[in-house]
Amino acid sequence: MAPKKPPCLPSLLLPLLTLLLPQADTRSFIVDRENDRFLLDGAPFRFVSGSLHYFRVPRVLWADRLLKMRMSGLNAVQFYVPWNYHEPEPGVYNFNGSRDLTAFLNEASIADLLVILRPGPYICAEWEMGGLPAWLLQKPEIQLRTSDPDFLAAVDSWFKVLLPKLYPWLYHNGGNIISIQVENEYGSYKACDFTYMRHLAGLFRALLGDRILLFTTDGPEGLKCGSLQGLYSTVDFGPADNMTEIFALLRKYEPHGPLVNSEYYTGWLDYWGQNHSTRSISAVTKGLEAMLKLGASVNMYMFHGGTNFGYWNGADEKGRFLPITTSYDYDAPISEAGDPTPKLFALRNVISKFQEIPLGPLPPPSPKMMLGPLTLHLDGYLLSFLDILCPHGPIRSILPMTFEAVKQDHGFMLYRTYLTHTVSEPTQLWVPNNGVHDRAYVMVDGVFQGVLERNMKHQLFLIGKMGAKLDILLENMGRLSFGSNSSDFKGLLEPPVLGQTALTQWLMFPLKVDKLVKWWFPLPLLRSSHLQAPSGPTFYSTTFSILGEGGDTFLFLPGWTKGQVWINGFNLGRYWTRQGPQQTLYVPRPLLFSRGALNKITLLELENVPPEPQIQFLDRPILNSTLHKTYIYSLSADTQSPSEPMELS
Ligand SMILES: CCCCNC(=S)N1C[C@H](O)[C@@H](O)[C@@H](O)[C@H]1CO
């Protein structure tokens, strides 16, 4: 798909107007160091940009979100390209559907937004492994984000596919990409490997040419290691930071040229088990206005956050492992459901003081829908589907193997062994060196015993006869996306110990859960044997239809504990009702069939099924519930809107 060209013109006008319109050979975006500004086609230019990640929004909604950004007064959109989203296996590439990068570039062009593109290779972004593909860890000694030849070989191979796709979209070639970032906050990474950064800069120049503006972004403390000759240095900071101090520090690296904040935080990320993060409208607007008054160019991170569908969330490590939530609402100006918020209008008002805002109203919030409660029925226990979930059978090994070693990147793997002696007294099961990555659901002869969790104190005691089957289902909760000083392998990293005995002789079952759920859709092909296992992770489902057109909605799972959800075979993401802060999952209307057609929802509940296995669809999100409480909304008799939530526990 070629970049959008100027509209076709009557032939007699063309010669005249081509003198006026910037053509590919006269289009330019450069740094004017004499006047501390950018020049676009020779005219002074300042970008007011927002971050939107195409990989967190269904493709059918891209145009809607980009339009709302343009109508907010932005003139550019900034986004990453996650390597792992496009190269699922070495040498296998996917640029289709919601991965169609050039389609997104074209949508941005149609929305009249310039593009600031950040292809990594590492992107952070609270995304699984910061965008790096997990298959890199099949070489366990690889040194990520360094000049390690194994890492550079994979990077070169990837960029030789990606960067040529971007070349026609560069602004001076007729496209909308005005600048490209090299790496991401490299100065915050322990390696500080200038050979690596120089290699990347050389590769980008070789594949993108000399004219495109290449830049780096670092926090104030990262400029020293993150900056490189030939790459324009920019910083990132939020409303609570000292703009004057940070820009003064930036001037040590860029004495001349425009000041740029590449990530001005409009909100912040959420971790499971912590309260929902917010940033006040007054602080965010005040900080933006101060930067615009200085003539700085600013990108607001995030302008629309979207969702970590499937298993795509990343994680941080702050004393302990902190997985990012499914919702990436980020308290951003455009909500997770794509609705303009008061913060958007306040920011739009600030922007209007400095540059022209497109005329006309913003599109209204999308229609929302309530449905339910719906009762789900038991489809079967996870352990009873091993023949379908692991069709090639288990992998045998004396010691447990990691997900990466068996080439299972995401989701779940079952580890099975048999007790070599009878354990008649309750005996502790534990894994040395914090070796549970990340959560382990333990069963003995199919009976659920409890959970072992990364970074948490283990208190799990069990008994069992000689020959009893010990099953440990491992859940990968997402690989570290920031601050990881070592590679984040997943699975049982050490042999579990029962009492004083290290358990050996393991069977590993990589589980293709998504394939099973898709295969089931629309109706499960069940056998009675699937209902045999007495307990443990369980599939529940139901079908439902929407009479009218329907709308966006928010799946509410009162009383459920933790698991994964699929709607019509689409992996909506993780829920963790017990932990919060989010109690609902955003369900985009395009995922649903309307006018009476059949929809199907499937849950994989990993811990405890509520007495009443019900779910609801609400017309509003619950992202900041206080912890360890659950609510139920009952439809009030006189209206269809839910009454105030009633606390259940
Ligand atoms: C808790 C620290 C998380 C590190 N990430 C930081 S500072 N950020 C900078 C980073 O470049 C961006 O991708 C995002 O990850 C952003 C936080 O939303």
Among 21, 103, 25, 18, residue whose Cα is nearest residue 66: 103
Q: What is the mean pLDDT of residues 261-267?
A: 99
Nearest CA owner, ligand 1 atom 12: 125
Q: Given ligand 1 and candidates 145, 263, 271, 484, which is best to mutate, with the most ligand atoms within 8 Å of its CB? A: 263
Q: Which atom of ligand 1 sits closest to the CA of residue 184?
A: 11
pLDDT band at 640 (very low <50, low <70, confident <90, very high): very low
Among 610, 568, 564, 605, residue whose Cα is nearest residue 589: 568
Which residue is catalytic, options 126, 263, 404, 607?
Answer: 263
State the average pLDDT for the chain.
92
Percent of the chain with pLDDT over 70: 90
pLDDT band at 460 (very low <50, low <70, confident <90, very high): very high
Q: What is the mean pLDDT of residues 533-561?
A: 92
Residue 578 has pLDDT above 50, yes or no: yes
The rounded Å distance from CA 371 to ligand 1 centre is 36
Task: Tell me the residue type at 604.
Answer: L
Kindly state if the Cβ of 269 falls inside 6 Å of ligand 1: yes
Q: What is the mean pLDDT of residues 161-185?
A: 98
The rounded Å distance from CA 440 to ligand 1 centre is 28
DSSP letters, 244-300, are: HHHHHHHHHH-SSS--EEEEEESS---BTTSPPP---HHHHHHHHHHHHHTT-EEEE
Nearest CA owner, ligand 1 atom 7: 219
Peptide bond into 373 cis (omega under 30): yes
d(CA 247, CA 328): 28
Q: What is the mean pLDDT of residues 260-289?
A: 98
The rounded Å distance from CA 326 to ligand 1 centre is 16
Q: Which atom of ligand 1 sits closest to the CA of residue 302?
A: 18
Nearest CA owner, ligand 1 atom 1: 316
Summarised one tens digit per residue, pLDDT across range 617-632 is 999 999 998 644 444 4
pLDDT score, position 459: 83
Among 257, 175, 162, residue whose Cα is nearest residue 212: 175
Summarised one tens digit per residue, pLDDT across range 3-26 is 654 444 455 555 565 555 556 568
Q: In the numeric block, which tokens belong to residue 62? A: 């891209």
Residue 649 has pLDDT above 80, yes or no: no
d(CA 385, CA 363): 46
185 counts as catalytic: yes
Summarised one tens digit per residue, pLDDT across range 111-133 is 999 999 999 999 999 999 999 99
The rounded Å distance from CA 554 to ligand 1 centre is 27
- The sign of the torsion formed by the CA atoms of 454, 515, 511, 151 equals negative
Q: What is the mean pLDDT of residues 157-182?
A: 98
pLDDT score, position 646: 47
Q: What is the mean pLDDT of residues 248-257?
A: 98
Residue 476 has pLDDT above 70, yes or no: yes
Q: Given ligand 1 and candidates 81, 127, 185, which is best to mutate, with the most ligand atoms within 8 Å of its CB? A: 185
Residue 483 has pLDDT above 90, yes or no: no
- The sign of the torsion formed by the CA atoms of 268, 274, 276, 282 equals negative
Has the ipTM of the complex gone over 0.95?
Answer: yes
Do 52 and 69 contact (CB within 8 A), yes or no? yes
Summarised one tens digit per residue, pLDDT across range 67-96 is 999 999 999 999 999 999 999 999 999 999
Kindly state if the Cβ of 339 falls inside 6 Å of ligand 1: no
Kindly state if the Cβ of 480 falls inside 6 Å of ligand 1: no
Kindly state if the Cβ of 316 falls inside 6 Å of ligand 1: yes
89 counts as catalytic: no
Q: Which atom of ligand 1 sits closest to the CA of residue 217?
A: 11
Residue 225 has pLDDT above 60, yes or no: yes
- What is the three-state SS of 401-435? CCCCCCCCCCCEEEEEEECCCCEEEEEEEECHHHC
Q: Which atom of ligand 1 sits closest to the CA of residue 236?
A: 9
- Residues present in the chain in total: 649
Nearest CA owner, ligand 1 atom 16: 125
Q: Given ligand 1 and candidates 301, 317, 328, which is best to mutate, with the most ligand atoms within 8 Å of its CB? A: 301
Kindly state if the Cβ of 539 falls inside 6 Å of ligand 1: no
The rounded Å distance from CA 611 to ligand 1 centre is 40
Summarised one tens digit per residue, pLDDT across range 135-154 is 999 999 999 999 999 999 99
Q: What is the mean pLDDT of residues 584-588?
A: 98
pLDDT score, position 62: 98
pLDDT band at 518 (very low <50, low <70, confident <90, very high): confident
Q: Which residue has the higher pLDDT, 485 or 334?
A: 334
The rounded Å distance from CA 417 to ligand 1 centre is 40
Kindly state if the Cβ of 208 falls inside 6 Å of ligand 1: no
Which strand (E) or helix (H) includes residue 615? strand 614-618
Nearest CA owner, ligand 1 atom 3: 482
Residue 383 has pLDDT above 80, yes or no: yes
Do 301 and 282 contact (CB within 8 A), yes or no? no
Q: Is 61 exposed, middle or buried (0-12, 13-18, 19+ CB in 10 A)?
A: buried
Residue 366 has pLDDT above 70, yes or no: yes
Q: What is the mean pLDDT of residues 529-537?
A: 71
Q: What is the mean pLDDT of residues 199-215?
A: 98
What pTM does this model have? 0.93
Q: Indicate left, alpha or beta for 441 from its phi (over 0: left) and psi (-120 to 50: alpha).
A: beta
d(CA 490, CA 410): 9
